[in-house]
Amino acid sequence: MPIWNARIERMPRAELEQLQLERLQATLNRIWDSVPFYRRRFEETGLMPEHIRSLDDVRLLPLTVKEDLRAGYPYDLFALPLREVVRIHASSGTTGQPTVVGYTKNDLRNWSELVARVLSAGGATKDDVIQISFSYGLLTDAFGFHQGAEEIGASVIPVSAGAPEQQLKIMRDFRSTALVGTPTDALRIAEALEEQEIPRTSLHLRWGMFGSAPWSENVRTRIESLLGISATDNYAISEVMGPGVSGECEENKGGLHINEDHFLCEVIDPESEEVLPPGEPGELVITTLTKEALPILRYRTRDLTSIDARPCPCGRTLARMARVSSRTDDMLIIGGVKLFPAQIEQVLTEVEGVEPHYRVIVDEVGGVDRVEVQVEVSGALLTGDVGRLLKMENLLRRRLQADLGLSAELKLVESRTIGPVEHPSQRIVDRRRAEGGERSKRE
């Protein structure tokens, strides 16, 4: 597969790091002059931009959290007046004040370039017909991918979010060769195809790129086999840009290449905030290196990953981050055991006949946590004999106990009882909180 910007994506690391340092210093000078929020933070600690002399010094800089952006709603953290800003996006704000992000013309140009790199790494060429099923609106995904796909010269179909039947009709009639959307969209479309017994050969689909919420390897396998495509992951975060931060190469699918000439990434221990060495898992922290309208220093993403700077067989020298399967705020503590929904999904879907749709209900009875795991199994299994079902329940119970230390009651349910969700955290129903208080949906 061709590399979109070989000069940068294959740049020797020493040269890349020099470029990062120069851009970091330029960013700090701009921030010092034009963002009072950061100027105050610097002054509180006696830090000056010229104190940052190497990339390692980045750890001296203050961390930025989502609450800082909310407190500065809508424009306080912008480094430029609105007359320089040509686009404004925002998060959905379902759990509080939305976070607002702005882009200058240069920011938009860079954004298109970075998404073009990610799309090319995933398999896109100008011959593709790319169907976008992300919702067009305030969120960054649809517009980000749209402009990146146009940059490549592909034909873009801005379907936006819609029922799987509508997506399928357009996919067949317009001969879409690629689908870009959430993994949930892809699963719903794949399952509609299966349900309506539409032959896969009536589609022209070749590849897909999915993101915006974590999805497991098992979900990838299911999407790839049902739709007959190659599917890659990418990482998007609206506070620093949207899509275009990093993406998998189709050759390797072994981590997401970070566009390091625009983003300086670190991994920290979420509790101590110490920077962790390469390869160690922790929370991803991102500093923007070129953003003009809204430069951000050391943004705590709450996403858990690790970074690997070793060379990749695809030839790119850009470091890779591990696929994000969990966020720091998805963590559940059950009977003293720390767990993430993604770990439960991993254990369940390793067993044949189990579908990647499940629900975990946590209750407290007499001061003790009680867990019920409901999981979809294939129809054939449910109509078979009871002995097989019991065996399956036992197997899943033992696996959860052995692999995660989780004691749970198992309940097998029919296909399509639970179905896909937008985010793994929605699979958890935690009834231990205040009366009737189920986990609030994350933004």
Nearer to Zn ion, 11 or 101 (CB): 11
Whether residue 270 is preceded by a cis peptide bond, meaning omega within 30 degrees of 0, is: no
Nearer to Zn ion, 1 or 413 (CB): 1
Site string for Zn ion, 56-95 (x = CB under 5 A): ----------------------------------------
- H or E element that contains 164: helix 164-173
Q: Which 8-state DSSP code applies to residue 204?
A: -
Nearer to Zn ion, 157 or 307 (CB): 307
Minimal distance, residue 261 CB to Zn ion, in Å: 16
Minimal distance, residue 252 CB to Zn ion, in Å: 4
Segment 142 to 171, residues that bind Zn ion, using CB under 5 A = none
Q: Does 252 bind Zn ion (CB under 5 A)?
A: yes
Residue of 292, 263, 243, 238 whose CA lies nearest to 86:
292
State the pairing for strand pair 263-268/282-288. Answer: antiparallel
- H or E element that contains 381: helix 379-383
Angle at 354 between CA 349 and CA 355, to 5 degrees: 80
Backbone angles phi, psi at 312, to 5 degrees: -110, 145
The gap from C-alpha 377 to its chain's centroid, in whole angstroms, comes to 27
Segment 288 to 347, residues that bind Zn ion, using CB under 5 A = 312, 314, 316
Please choose, out of 3-11, 95-103, 186-194, 242-250, the segment that lies near Zn ion by the rule CB under 5 A: 242-250
Separation CA 39–CA 28 (nearest Å):
10
Minimal distance, residue 234 CB to Zn ion, in Å: 13
Residue of 299, 303, 306, 320 whose CA lies nearest to 249:
320
Nearer to Zn ion, 187 or 256 (CB): 256
Separation CA 22–CA 156 (nearest Å):
36
Segment 97 to 126, residues that bind Zn ion, using CB under 5 A = none
Minimal distance, residue 250 CB to Zn ion, in Å: 9
Minimal distance, residue 254 CB to Zn ion, in Å: 7
Nearer to Zn ion, 132 or 318 (CB): 318
Minimal distance, residue 318 CB to Zn ion, in Å: 8
Q: Give CA separation, 266 vs 106, 210, 278, 284, in Å.
A: 25, 24, 9, 6
Minimal distance, residue 211 CB to Zn ion, in Å: 17
Nearer to Zn ion, 5 or 328 (CB): 5
Number of residues that bind Zn ion (CB under 5 A): 5
Separation CA 389–CA 203 (nearest Å):
36
Please choose, out of 124-132, 189-197, 243-251, 263-271, the segment that lies near Zn ion by the rule CB under 5 A: 243-251
Six-digit token pair at 187?
């699963």
Separation CA 424–CA 215 (nearest Å):
8
Site string for Zn ion, 422-441 (x = CB under 5 A): --------------------
Minimal distance, residue 120 CB to Zn ion, in Å: 12
Residue of 73, 21, 74 whose CA lies nearest to 50:
21
Nearer to Zn ion, 162 or 315 (CB): 315
Nearer to Zn ion, 119 or 249 (CB): 249
Residues that bind Zn ion (CB under 5 A): 249, 252, 312, 314, 316
